[in-house]
Amino acid sequence: MADLVVVKAKIKDHAKGMNVSADFAEALSGRVSQLIKDAAARAKANKRQTVKARDV
């Protein structure tokens, strides 16, 4: 298992009473990680070292 970039307890809070499987947290973390990488690439392409909300 890779390092998670999401907090499992917060996922459960937002799931509002639903059970959350361990593989959901891993899958969500993977999507978030890719989103961050894509945003960083956009910032770099725009010659910035700061990732901003508009990069998402």
Contacts 24+ apart (CB under 8 A), 3-9: 4/29, 5/29, 5/32, 5/33, 5/36, 6/32
10-52: pLDDT as tens digits: 999 999 989 999 899 999 999 999 999 999 999 999 999 999 9
Q: Do 19 and 25 contact (CB within 8 A), yes or no?
A: no
- pLDDT band at 2; cut points 50, 70, 90: low
Higher per-residue confidence, 2 vs 25 = 25
